[in-house]
Amino acid sequence: MKYYRAIFIVLIGILVVTPSTLSSSTNTNNDCFVYDIQWSPNGEMVAISGEFSTYIVRYESRQLLDYIVLEHESPAHALDFSYDNEILITGHRNGDLILWNVELEQIQHHLKAHTNRVNAIAASAISPIFVSGSMAEPIINIWSLDTGEKLEEMTWTHGTASVIFDPHQDIIVITGPGFPWLYFHDLENNQFVDWVFLTEQANWAGAIIGELEYSNDSIISIATNFSHLGLYDVETDTLHTLRTSTEYMDNVSLSYDNSFLSAPVDEKIIVWELDWTSETVAEEEGKLLYNARKFGPDIRFHPEENLLAVVDNGHIMLWDVNTMAMVSDIEFCAASQP
């Protein structure tokens, strides 16, 4: 494993954001393919996982401060930060989990966790535990961040496509591959307490859920492969369908205050301004943020402001969705695509 660190200054023009480039020496594998992106809970860092490198980019007042590159032997398909911002968890194609100490820039624990690709990780927002799942195994594991010990193994009927904690941090919501279901699991009592079949809520037949994201209260945003984009209100048991199409949209993010939703739709980044007093919540078409450089970029909203991080063709950009303006553009690898 290799670790790199660099510090530099980014200049932002008054009208045009000039892209800055990280040193090419930090990317020995030309690793521009991205699997996941996550903000740290304090909103100061963005982690980007790729084939053989994971980047941690630090910001201060929306401007780049410094960055770290962590190299690994197996592609990292999922990642999340610990509740205290000190640990980054990465899940890998070979089934391993790696817990990285962010400050020391070194591995704290390397776990032989699953027999197949880890594609779902969620860390508790209030305690040193996290959960992991694999698409190929009907198992959810609960881990200690401090010791790397497996605390519990939960068996259920499917592999895991996505897993998230609820706002109270005592329930996890799980979805499996190929089924438009949401399963709610009580961690303390280790039992399923509820489930939602989305086709009973709306015409979501054949929907394959790609990603879930829980807001600060009762709203779950849902993106499916090639079909649906929606918001599920847990308290009222209501599914709001924002978009139905054959376009690719398996990535979604909801702003911290539930006022905006964003998703890549084919090669476009779309933003929906949400009106919860309206029966439709938002216009189906939404607003075009920008045309992406490549197909299927990755996005994630900041945890405390309406700032959208977008990873696209070797660049990480920050967009203020209130003004629909880009405020930062950093090239973190030399992409092969023009």
Tell me the CATH class for 3-331.
mainly beta
- 3-state secondary structure labels for all residues of 93-115: CCCEEEEEECCCCEEEEEEECCC
Order of all β-strands in the sheet with 162-165: 162-165, 171-175, 181-186, 191-197
75-79, 225-229, 277-281: segment of lowest average pLDDT: 225-229
Contact residues for 272 (Cβ-Cβ < 8 A; gap 6+): 242, 260, 261, 262, 282, 283, 286, 287
User: Under a CB-based contact definition with an 8 Å cutoff, are residues 331 and 20 in contact?
Assistant: yes
Total Cβ atoms within 10 A of residue 268: 16
| Conformational region of residue 61, where left means phi above 0, alpha means psi within -120 to 50, and beta covers everything else | left
Neighbours of 262 (CB within 10 A): 26
pLDDT in tens, 119-155: 899 999 999 999 999 988 999 999 999 999 999 998 8
Over residues 97-104, the mean pLDDT reads 96
How do residues 247-262 score in pLDDT, each as one tens digit?
A: 667 688 999 999 999 9
Cβ–Cβ < 8 Å for 162, 213: no
H or E segment and range at residue 198: helix 198-201
Q: What letters, b where the CB count within 10 A reaches 16 and e where it falls short, cover 75-98?
A: bbbbbbbbbbebbbbbbbbbbbbb
Give the domain ranges of the chain: 3-331
Question: Per the confidence metrics, is the pTM higher than 0.75?
Answer: yes
Specify the pLDDT at position 205. Answer: 64
